[in-house]
Amino acid sequence: MKRAICFLILASLMLTASCGENQTGDETTTTENITETTAKEEEYSFAELDLGGDTFAILNSSDTYGFYYYLDHDEISGERLDDVIYERNRKLEDKYSFKLEIIEEPFYESSSKFRQTVMAGDDTYDAAFIWVDNLSPLISEGCLKDLHSIETINLDKSWWDQKSLETMRVGGDQAYFAFCNTSLVKFEGMQSVFMNLDKFDDLGLIAPYDEVENGTWTIDKLHELAARGANLNGDESFAWNKGGKAVYGIAGNEGSAFGLIYSCGNRFIDHDKSGEPYLAIDTERFYETAEKITKITFTEGEFIFLNQNTDPEDHYEMAFKNNRSLLMTGEIKAASKYRDANFSFGILPNPKLDEDQENYISVGGFAHATVIPVTAADAEKSGAILDGLAYLTETEVMPEFYNNTVSQKRLRDDRSVDMLKIISESEYLDPGEIFSWTHNMRIELYTKMIKDKDDSFASTIASYRASVNEAIKESIELFE
């Protein structure tokens, strides 16, 4: 039976799992979700707000490498994800008597558009969803409102990402941005491992679902699978040829190193006992992790780097779709390309370093943060609407989305439901990237691990140490 998971199923289950529900994929669980949703809705206290038909403008970052970035739709279309988002927005519009306006700008330009309006004292935007890599200058230049100062935002509630609120603390108690499910980009950006289950069958391999659940899914076992998957298949070499027949153990990009470094228990930035951030990557654990990663990526056939922009076929996601690799390391959003795949596939969290590691860690890199400009006409109004959207996303978009897919038994690979729950519960966002402290260091390390086959990692870390420490110091002073 074909077990391929379509994009809607992956996204819906991941969203549901992020709520902390105990989903198993059966109809009984679906009924329980509906009951819990009703209870949650009764507990929420909507603001006493009548905007008299005013427009509420949100700047949204678009054109996001295939991530689902949409915040609204013009009408009901029959696409379930689109429709529940449409219904969520119309419900809140009716509740508060306003008209939602989504202004889309490419993600690499939205922050500059946002900054220009704020610096001009313009209140064009009531709120925005900004790509995380562009947050730092907006914070340092005073463009963002401290969300903790807005009484209508319930930042301590489950519809706001509590983990990231804690890991992004710098100096004081300010929160200039937050993450919620209203934008699905963060969820789709989580790193994971895709498996071609037909190839597993051909090779006599068993998908390591049990190992994941038993806590024994490690990078060494990933390496074993990569080695089993490598096959020249009649080609003269493993050099990439889109018309060739060679099969690779893993197809990936720079993010392959990104995901594995974190999943093996490393952090570029951690916090000391007083809560202050510091550079934390220069450890024995990191060098052990790097050695294990490069044993895979430096070996021809076991790993193929494909992230070229000249030809769509010269891409790791498409290589996997075209049956050219046993595994693919990438973001959850890649599933949107496999709705018509001619093979069965499954998904796993990235592996641990060893069995002694307590938890799986799934890092996200591409995300949109919720922000309010300091020039917003009414910050309390902005807070109420953003909080309402986040709440309705958790209580209505996610359960209905889940019910639509699972109750109709569209899911083919039940074990991947459990894997998605593990991935979503183990999510981690890196403050070093969001505040731009370690961005250049990380890029250089990933490039060495994946593309250059250069293991001089210690010298790279040493060369950036002073600049990273200075950047952290400046941020702490800014927040204090």
Evaluated on CA atoms 52, 382, 55, 66, the torsion sign reads negative
Position 398, amino acid: M
Six-digit token pair at 464? 């950036």
Find the radius of gyration of the CA atoms of the chain: 22
- Other Cβ atoms closer than 10 A to 77: 11
**214 Cβ neighbours under 8 A, 6+ residues apart:** none
Binning pLDDT at 50, 70 and 90, where does residue 42 land? very low
Binning pLDDT at 50, 70 and 90, where does residue 268 land? very high
**β-bridge mates for residue 130, sequence order:** 369
Six-digit token pair at 212? 């994941």
Q: What is the pLDDT of residue 309?
A: 65
Taking the CA atoms of residue 131, residue 264, residue 330 and residue 245 in that order, the dihedral angle to the nearest 10 degrees is 150
Once rounded to an integer, what is the mean pLDDT over residues 28-32? 36
Among 246, 221, 251, which residue's Cα sits nearest to residue 235? 246
CA 107 to chain CA centroid, nearest Å = 15
Task: Report percent pLDDT > 90 for the chain.
Answer: 64
How far apart are the C-alpha atoms of 90 and 100, rounded to whole Å?
A: 8
Q: What is the pLDDT of residue 411?
A: 36
Full strand arrangement of the beta sheet holding 248-252: 303-305, 248-252, 325-331, 191-196, 345-348
How far apart are the C-alpha atoms of 341 and 365, rounded to whole Å?
A: 26
Lowest mean pLDDT among 7-21, 380-394, 459-473: 7-21
Q: What is the pLDDT of residue 257?
A: 93
- Which of the given ranges, 323-327, 397-401, 435-439, has the highest pLDDT on average? 323-327
With 0-12 / 13-18 / 19 or more C-beta atoms within 10 angstroms meaning exposed / middle / buried, residue 140 is middle
What are the tens digits of pLDDT across the range 65-99?
A: 788 899 999 999 988 888 999 999 999 999 999 99
Q: Is the pLDDT of residue 202 over 60?
A: yes
- Contact between 362 and 126 under an 8 Å Cβ cutoff? The reply is no
Among 253, 236, 235, 240, which residue's Cα sits nearest to residue 194? 253
Six-digit token pair at 198? 């037909």
Six-digit token pair at 469? 């420490």
What are the tens digits of pLDDT across the range 323-342?
A: 999 999 999 888 878 878 88
Once rounded to an integer, what is the mean pLDDT over residues 330-356? 89
Q: How far is CA 302 from CA 54, 211, 249, 326, 444, in A?
A: 57, 21, 4, 10, 22
- Which of the given ranges, 167-171, 192-196, 428-432, has the highest pLDDT on average? 192-196
Once rounded to an integer, what is the mean pLDDT over residues 385-401? 86
Q: Is the pLDDT of residue 26 over 70?
A: no
| Long-range contacts at 24-31 (CB < 8 A, ≥ 24 apart) | 24/417, 25/406, 25/411, 25/414, 25/417, 26/406, 27/406, 27/407, 29/406, 30/402, 30/403, 30/406, 30/407
Q: What is the pLDDT of residue 336?
A: 76
What are the tens digits of pLDDT across the range 102-153?
A: 999 998 899 999 999 999 999 999 999 999 888 888 988 999 999 999 999 9
Q: What is the pLDDT of residue 413?
A: 64
Q: Is the pLDDT of residue 381 over 50?
A: yes
DSSP assignment of 394-461 equals IIIIHHHHHHHHHTTT----HHHHHHHHHHHHTEEE-HHHHTTSSHHHHHHHHHIIIII----HHHHH
Q: Is the pLDDT of residue 29 over 70?
A: no
- Contact between 346 and 195 under an 8 Å Cβ cutoff? The reply is yes
Evaluated on CA atoms 16, 19, 24, 29, the torsion sign reads negative
Six-digit token pair at 172? 């004081």
- Other Cβ atoms closer than 10 A to 429: 22
Binning pLDDT at 50, 70 and 90, where does residue 400 land? low
Position 59, amino acid: L
Binning pLDDT at 50, 70 and 90, where does residue 477 land? confident
Q: Is the pLDDT of residue 463 over 60?
A: yes
Q: What is the average pLDDT value for the chain, to the nearest integer?
A: 86
Once rounded to an integer, what is the mean pLDDT over residues 6-34? 38
**295 Cβ neighbours under 8 A, 6+ residues apart:** 223
| Beta strand segments in 282-361, E | 303-305, 325-331, 345-348
Q: What is the pLDDT of residue 141?
A: 92
Q: What is the pLDDT of residue 49?
A: 94
